[in-house]
A and B are shown apart, each in its own frame.
Chain A
């Protein structure tokens, strides 16, 4: 690599860092300021008196609000009461995300295995239908989903949220695994089948170890989607029994005075778990998609 190449890479490196990190830096910066500091012009480029008050409030909202009411009554600084639901929203998000992830991995694995390894009439059309289903614009399906969940008595339950999240990523995940299976040599499976293993035994004992990266990346795609999905979760949830993080944060930003410090703190906390996850599984994620993406 010549000197020119090195300089070019350095510039691009910095550009990517600034582009990606600046909004994050700004969120962290705001989250460390008090509300009057945030609402000053010109804005502080670095928090003048960094404080974790916003984070403390996000986590212990109930206590903080009760104490405030005791000391000031209804007067005083505005606090968004919806924040009380934040801790339960974290739990809900994790439960929904993990279930959606595991189900996606398992269902996409089984389905793509059958699609690529078992010959049967209608396998082609079935595959297309299952992938093409994802082409429907989300707004178009909002009302039907509500009706489905209403009739199934699932409104405001975690099951409803999980079902919707599963469906949203399953088609693309089947597609990814399908192409991955297509690139995999079948001799090992053939040998295993001749040795008398059933199809599913073959899948779990011999094939799974080979395609583990792909299955992991499929799971992460499902988890990431579920972690950020807002609109449909908003639609089918009503209380803290089933609201997930994006919904609670969305409600916080819809508050009259827009408590930016608290919203930013909530947002910063919400992004930590997936960031760690991606850091751990980055190699798997990229490798897992390789065959899946290329063999179209």
Chain B
């Protein structure tokens, strides 16, 4: 950095280092102090607790059991069921949200009357607390008073009202719809920002060269948006494997635990069965899954991990 060398000539090297140290401390303390307290202690706690038999219902059994919780975890039917459900949910949710948000962003950044309004509109679900949107979605699919049943009935598609939330696949799809509704704004916002930052000269040059629409999209738009794609895929993945509020308000994990995704299952182990050891083992596992997926995305989109910084 040239400016630093310039500065060092003015005040001398020792003073400069001291000044920098002060700058670093003042600059980083307000951000890093809370991050450190709220990151390391919880991670340490989760890993530590996962190695102990620690169930509030049987406090006298407290003791070190090493990998016991991890082994016990993989031996239950619920764990594999929950993992499968999480996979089903994530595999449906991630492509739907990433491509829908890309499509919406491409549309609302075009120049036409009402584009500004649309840009605002697509952000609207962001403004609504999840508990509120979850309750509304659930009510729309209510078996007796919901509009969904009524519409199907009026069109003669169903003979009688169906309690959708109590059927496995429909419950999952309702969850997915609600999740898409609430999770779409953030990726869309990032894509909009990215699209608007693409220099228009690139397109003009491509059109002059007589490039086909698809190849223009592939070589300019998509290439330019790749870093944002990465952020969005990671964001959506984490949101879907962590999703809790919506499950809590809409399906409560039912029917027959089919929508009890891994976070919800962990929550139950922790706060219903009070098995802190097992719940911690589960959360360590979710953490590891998250890290593996993110690493895979970085590899897949050919962006080196070190390029995370500017």
Contacts and interface: CB of A to CB of B under 8 A. Distances in A.
Interface stretch (A53-61, A204-212, A283-291): A283-291
A278 B137 CA distance: 23
A110 B26 contact: yes
Q: Most chain-B CB neighbours within 10 Å: which of A30, A137, A287?
A: A137
Interface residues of B, number: 101
Interface stretch (B74-82, B114-122, B166-174): B114-122
B194 A278 contact: no
Interface in A270-289: 270-271, 274-275, 278-279, 282, 285-289
- Name which of B3, B108, B133 has the most chain A CB atoms within 10 A of its CB: B3
A189 B23 CA distance: 15
Contact of B43 (A40, A136, A142, A290): A136
Contacts of A1: 112
- Give the size range of A's interface with the partner: 35 or more
B130 to A, nearest CB: 6
B83 interface: no
Main secondary structure of the interface of B (DSSP, over half): helix
B224 interface: yes
A183 B227 CA distance: 14
Given A140-B46, A144-B45, A189-B3, A296 B303 contact: yes
Query: B7, B28, B147, B154: which has the most chain A beta carbons within 10 Å?
Result: B28
B161 to A, nearest CB: 7
Interface in B100-144: 104, 107-108, 110, 112, 114, 116, 118-133, 135-137, 139-140, 144
A296 B107 contact: no
A102 B112 CA distance: 35
A142 B41 contact: no
Given A140-B280, A295-B227, A263 B135 contact: yes
B56 to A, nearest CB: 11
A136 B270 contact: no
Given A139-B270, A183-B310, A230-B130, 9 more contacts: A9-B107, A139-B242, A140-B286, A170-B35, A182-B309, A249-B132, A250-B131, A293-B228, A296-B228
Interface of A: 1, 9, 12-13, 16-17, 19-21, 23-24, 26-27, 30, 38-43, 45, 103, 106-108, 110-111, 113-120, 124, 126-131, 133, 135-145, 147-148, 163-164, 166-167, 170-171, 174-175, 178-183, 186, 189-190, 193-194, 198-200, 224, 227-228, 230-231, 245-246, 249-250, 253, 260, 263-264, 266-267, 270-271, 274-275, 278-279, 282, 285-296
27 contacts: A9-B112, A16-B104, A24-B124, A24-B128, A30-B136, A38-B145, A108-B31, A111-B32, A118-B27, A128-B308, A136-B39, A136-B43, A138-B244, A139-B286, A140-B266, A170-B31, A178-B309, A250-B249, A260-B135, A266-B132, A271-B127, A279-B120, A289-B189, A289-B193, A293-B193, A293-B194, A293-B197
